[in-house]
Amino acid sequence: MKVLGAWSLLQTCTIILLSHRQLIPAEKVQTVSNHNVNPCCNYPCHNMGVCVRSGLSGYDCDCTRTGYSGENCTIPDFWTKVRDFLKPRPDVIHYILTHFHWLWNIINRTRLREWLMHIVLTARSNLIPSPPTYNSKYGYLNWEAYYNHTYYTRILPPVPEDCPTPMGVKGKTTLPDPKMLVQKFLRRQTFNPDPQGTNLMFAFFAQHFTHQFFKTHNRMGVAFTKALGHGVDAGHIYGDNLARQLNLRLLKDGKLKYQLVMGDMYPPTDAYAKVNMSYPPAMPPEHRMAIGQEVFGLLPGLSMYATLWLREHNRICDVLIKEHPTWDDEQLFQTARLIVIGETIRIVIEDYVQHLSGYLLQLKFDPELLFNSQFQYQNRISLEFNHLYHWHALMPDSFIIDGDDVPYSQFIFNTSLVTHYGIEKLVDAFSRQQAGQIGGGKNIHPVIIGVAEDVIRESRELRVQPFNEYRKRFNLKPYESFLQLTENEEMAQELEEMYGDIDALEFYPGLLLEKTRPGAIFGESMVEMGAPFSLKGLMGNPICSPEYWKPSTFGGQTGFNLVNSATLERLVCLNTKWCPYVAFRVPYESQREEKSSFSKNEL
């Protein structure tokens, strides 16, 4: 019976991952009597159909290659019917992937792991359009939206400008005041630790990793990005332009500039590297570290990761010099950078995403899994992904380091903490301190609550479509009420009074106020929308392509082995004097006094 049960679960999991359409039944679309109103404000086209206005008051839905037909793309073809009939709900998928330890222990030791990982990668990545579609200037396909990389791309077009309400046709004509909205629903009252055991090592990694491609160019406008690489390019380590990169480089042996403090390597001062950093004017010159990302002096956790990657880059250069004594500085640097990018992607998939997902399927970074699939090795960062990833609720009320309770006032813009405690003590402290839960509302510390307010203002300026429209775009059923969204009667009633209709709820508030999954860090939508962006961006990197993914790209088998053996623990312990406890989750009670089991002698 157990074998039959396992096979049944495996079949269900396969169907889940293969299917990527959701049947949305035909419904009567609200009509707008005013001929001056754009009928596409109703969002009449379902199942990824494209609304095209025709005449003064008409519209057409382009259902090409959606698997649906009909006036509003609601009539499924035969195979779509079969797929939708067999497809379980996302919460069923999640339950299977996070339960049945005995089954996953078997699968993770067989070839089924690679097979399922291939399905995960393709099913998720196929939800992200490639080439990109829209940007904040154009709500229709055109060459500028594709070609102009200074824009963030976007998954759904902007709300048409001539709609009766800010969200289309639903809701009130005026949206709630952003400040009041975040104070009432998002401001932390009591710290809620993440039930998944997520720690500050994870929180700072999330911020450090994503700020290589989330770099809004505010001087041009919130629709624009300075990170023209649109992906994992390690620009947060090396700078986002050539001039900054050259100033950070030692220009000898491929290495980056550094300073020694008590015999330990740290980022150089900005006076030495001569790069612009965002520090307060009163910041002492000796504490102004020069880092690839200009804002990473803001938090010691970011400076800690910058130090680790600086040491790792220079360590890789030492390995390459022994392998290739004839190589010049440029080839050593460029090859080391490719290795660092590869190490980053492996750590993100096998350590970071593994923890975040809670899956019992052991995730694997293996680009060859996609070599026989139709897959485009390119990526563009969307503004929805940028907004979604504002996880400031992870931050605690204060920071516990080596027995000291450090408040925000002493933590922000204080790189001296990095050199005072040392990387080992910071890693150990951040790995042991629990981060906050993101979803469910009322989880953001008052010190940083203004960031959420800014995101809401930006989304309105960019005319981001309602939360339920994104639910439908990512094959999730739209919520029918605020109570269904939150499962909190008081919150639901207040939201109803402010927005007037669940279909008028904004994208970012919807993500943060959605009820969390049992024992999870956030709700269904954050996972189902965030995972496709993440996996497409990671696997769409050029180093994952057949042309790049081979030993010679990384300086031979030795460099290739560095990429293929990368873990968070190795990143830390190969670049510190002693190995602290290091992980993306706090240790279990029985492990709280244990140090890492990793030994440098194992290398």
Q: 224: which DSSP letter?
A: B
| Confidence tier at 588 by pLDDT (50, 70, 90) | confident
Q: What is the pLDDT of residue 466?
A: 98
Do the beta carbons of residue 82 and residue 64 sit within 8 Å? no
pLDDT of residue 35: 54
Q: Does position 2 have pLDDT exceeding 70, yes or no?
A: no
Task: Judge contact between 516 and 471, C-beta under 8 A.
Answer: no
Q: 105-161: per-residue pLDDT in tens? A: 999 999 999 999 999 999 999 999 999 999 988 999 999 989 999 999 999 999 999
- Whether 602 has a pLDDT exceeding 90, the answer reads no
Q: What is the DSSP letter of 289?
A: B
Q: What residues contact 218, with CB distance under 8 A and at least 6 apart?
A: none
Distance, in Å, from the CA atom of 384 to the CA atom of 463, rounded to the nearest integer, reads: 11
Q: What is the mean pLDDT of the chain?
A: 92
Contact status, residue 186 vs residue 494, Cβ threshold 8 Å: no
Residue 215 to residue 264: CA distance in whole angstroms? 30
On the question of pLDDT at 3 being above 70, the answer is no
pLDDT over 90 at 402, yes or no: yes
Does the pLDDT value for residue 409 go beyond 80?
A: yes
Whether the pLDDT of residue 8 is over 50: the answer is no
Nearest in space to 319 (alpha carbons), one of 334, 336, 337, 307: 336
Alpha helix segments (H runs only) across 373-488 = 383-388, 408-411, 416-432, 449-461, 467-473, 482-486
Could you list the active site residues?
211, 389
Copy the structure tokens of residue 486.
Answer: 């939150």
* Burial (CB count within 10 angstroms: exposed 0-12, middle 13-18, buried 19+), residue 549: buried
pLDDT confidence tier of residue 5, bands split at 50, 70 and 90:
very low
Contact 155, 139 (CB under 8 A): no
pLDDT in the model for residue 371: 96
Question: Distance between CA 137 and CA 158 in Å, rounded?
Answer: 8
pLDDT interval class at 507 (50, 70, 90): very high
What is the predicted pLDDT for the residue at 31?
A: 38
pLDDT of residue 600: 53
Q: Work out the pLDDT band at 73, boundaries 50, 70, 90.
A: very high
**How many Å separate Cα 311 from the centre of its chain?**
25
**Spatial separation of the C-alpha atoms in residues 80 and 387, rounded to whole Å:** 32
Contacts of 5 (CB under 8 A, 6+ apart): none
Rounded Cα distance between 162 and 159, Å, is 9
Stretch 550-577: mean pLDDT: 98
- What kind and span of H or E run contains 343? helix 329-347
Give the pLDDT score at 34. Answer: 52
Average of per-residue pLDDT across 258-272: 97
pLDDT of 327 strictly over 70 = yes
Q: Each residue of 571-584: pLDDT tens digit?
A: 999 999 999 999 99
The pLDDT score that the predictor gives to residue 15 is 36
Question: Measured between alpha carbons, how far is 189 from 181 in angstroms, rounded to an integer?
Answer: 15
* CB contact at 8 A, 532 and 125: yes
Whole-model pTM: value is 0.92
Under DSSP, is residue 227 helix (H, G, I), strand (E, B) or coil? coil
Can you tell me the distance from the alpha carbon of 242 to that of 258, in angstroms, rounded to the nearest whole number?
18
Q: Residue 56's pLDDT is what?
A: 86
pLDDT band at 599 (very low <50, low <70, confident <90, very high): low
pLDDT at 589: 60
Contact between 591 and 583 under an 8 Å Cβ cutoff? The reply is no
* % of the chain beyond a pLDDT of 70: 92
Instruction: Tell whether the model's pLDDT for residue 25 goes beyond 60.
Output: no
